[in-house]
Chains A and B, each alone.
Chain A
Amino acid sequence: MEQEKDLKTRELVINMGPQHPSTHGVLRLKLNVDGETVVKCTPYVGYLHRGTEKLAETMTYIQVIPLTDRLDYISSMTNNVGYCLAVERLFDINVPLRAKYIRTLVSELSRMSSHLLWLATHALDIGAMTVFLYAFREREGILDLFETLTGARLTVSYPRIGGVKRDVTQEFIDKTYAFAEDFPQRIQEYETLIDVNRIWLKRTLGVGAISAEDAINWGFSGATLRGCGVNYDVRKRFPYDAYDLVEFDVPVGKNGDVYDRYLCRVEELRQSTRIVKQCIEALPRGPIMAPDAPKFTLPAKDKVLGDMESLIHHFMLITKGPMTAPKGEIYVAIEAPKGELGFYIVSDGTGKPYRMRIRSPSFVHVSALPRLCEGRLLADVVANIGTIDVVLGECDR
Chain B
Amino acid sequence: MDPLEIAVGLKERFADDVLHISNFRGQVGVYLKKPHLVEIARLLHDTPEYCLDYLKDLCGVDYMDIKMPRFEVVYHLYSMQHGHMLRLNVQVSEHSPDIDSVVDIWAGANWHERECYDMYGIVFNNHPDLRRILMPEDWEGHPQRKDYPTAGPEEEWRGFKEVERKAEEFKKYQWNRKKT
Kindly list chain B residues whose C-beta atoms are within 8 Å of the C-beta of A218.
107-108
Kindly list chain B residues whose C-beta atoms are within 8 Å of the C-beta of A366.
111
| Also in contact, A92 and B56, with CB within 8 A (given A46-B133, A367-B110, A396-B134) | no
> Could you tell me the dominant secondary structure of chain B's interface residues?
mixed
Assess whether A190 is interfacial by the CB under 8 Å rule.
no
Assess whether B140 is interfacial by the CB under 8 Å rule.
no
Assess whether A243 is interfacial by the CB under 8 Å rule.
no
The answer to whether B61 and A346 have CB atoms under 8 Å apart is yes
The answer to whether A54 and B80 have CB atoms under 8 Å apart is no
Interface digits, B106-128 against A, CB 8 Å rule (1 contact, 0 not)? Answer: 11111110010001000000000
Distance to closest chain A CB from B83 (angstroms): 6
Kindly list chain A residues whose C-beta atoms are within 8 Å of the C-beta of B106.
217, 219
Which A residues, 33 to 68, have Cβ-Cβ distances below 8 Å to chain B?
45-46, 49, 51, 53-55, 57-58
| Also in contact, A46 and B135, with CB within 8 A (given A216-B53, A331-B57) | yes
Q: How many residues of B contact A (CB 8 A)?
A: 36
| Also in contact, A342 and B144, with CB within 8 A (given A217-B106, A331-B76) | no
Q: How many residues of A contact B (CB 8 A)?
A: 43
Binding stretch for chain A, among B3-11, B24-32, B36-44, B168-176 = B24-32
Distance to closest chain B CB from A41 (angstroms): 13
The answer to whether B80 and A342 have CB atoms under 8 Å apart is no
CB < 8 Å neighbour of B25 from A89, A217, A230, A354: A89
| Also in contact, A237 and B83, with CB within 8 A (given A49-B135, A330-B25) | yes
User: How many angstroms between the C-alpha atoms of A332 and B80 in the bound complex?
Assistant: 17
Kindly list chain B residues whose C-beta atoms are within 8 Å of the C-beta of A342.
56-57, 76
Assess whether B66 is interfacial by the CB under 8 Å rule.
yes
The answer to whether B76 and A219 have CB atoms under 8 Å apart is no
Assess whether A140 is interfacial by the CB under 8 Å rule.
no
Kindly list chain A residues whose C-beta atoms are within 8 Å of the C-beta of B85.
331
Distance to closest chain A CB from B69 (angstroms): 16
Interface digits, A348-381 against B, CB 8 Å rule (1 contact, 0 not)? Answer: 1000001101010001101110010000000000
- B binding-site residues for A, Cβ under 8 Å: 22, 24-25, 27, 29, 53-57, 59, 61-62, 66, 74, 76, 80, 83, 85, 87, 106-112, 115, 119, 133-136, 143-144, 150
A-B contact pairs, 15 of them (CB 8 A): A45-B133, A45-B134, A46-B134, A46-B136, A51-B143, A55-B150, A214-B107, A219-B54, A219-B107, A219-B109, A220-B108, A331-B76, A346-B61, A357-B59, A371-B107
- A binding-site residues for B, Cβ under 8 Å: 45-46, 49, 51, 53-55, 57-58, 89-90, 92, 214, 216-220, 230, 232, 237, 328-331, 333, 340, 342, 344, 346, 348, 354-355, 357, 359, 363-364, 366-368, 371, 396-397
